[in-house]
Amino acid sequence: MSYKRLTEYLDSHHVRYSAVQHSPAFTAQQIAEIAHIPGKDLAKTVIIKLDSKLAMVVLPSSYKVDLDLLKSNTGAHKVEIASEREFKDKFPECETGAMPPFGNLFGMDVYVDNRLAHDKKIAFNAGTHSELMWLQYEDFINLVHPKILH
């Protein structure tokens, strides 16, 4: 999903957002530092495989995916982090690793860490390694309908 398609999607749902341009960064830590965002406010998107089906996990950038927690919460027999090779074609308009957390637009289940709910807004990659988007956490939940993990 290109930045333009993402903004069109948000505009069509009357969701308010703000965009931030920054110099290219490739890790969540780098992005948070460059954009002056606390790591807990920056949502990172991690692609996982649940019994070989791709899904998205959205969590604060300062945390790591807990595969055991996902396994117990999803009922999957096997949970693992997907390799870029396995998912890059699923996001043809995005730079690899910069996909926004809108799995619903890519036919993927989305699991969100409830720690992101502690702040009213979240920031996330907007399809490139140099663009971020901010929006209300509640708007994100209403658009994506993720499964919330505790």
What's the predicted TM-score (pTM) here? 0.93
Domain count, the chain: 1
**Chain segment 16-49, per-residue pLDDT in tens:** 999 999 999 988 888 988 888 888 889 999 999 9
Structure tokens at 64: 């790591």
What are the angstrom distances between the C-alpha of 150 and each of 1, 61, 111? 28, 16, 10
Could you say which DSSP state residue 98 is in? -
- Domain range for 121 is 3-149
- The rounded Cα 33 to chain-centroid distance in angstroms is 18
* CATH, residue 77: 3.90.960.10
Structure tokens at 145: 């309908």
**Chain segment 68-96, per-residue pLDDT in tens:** 999 999 999 999 999 999 998 999 889 98
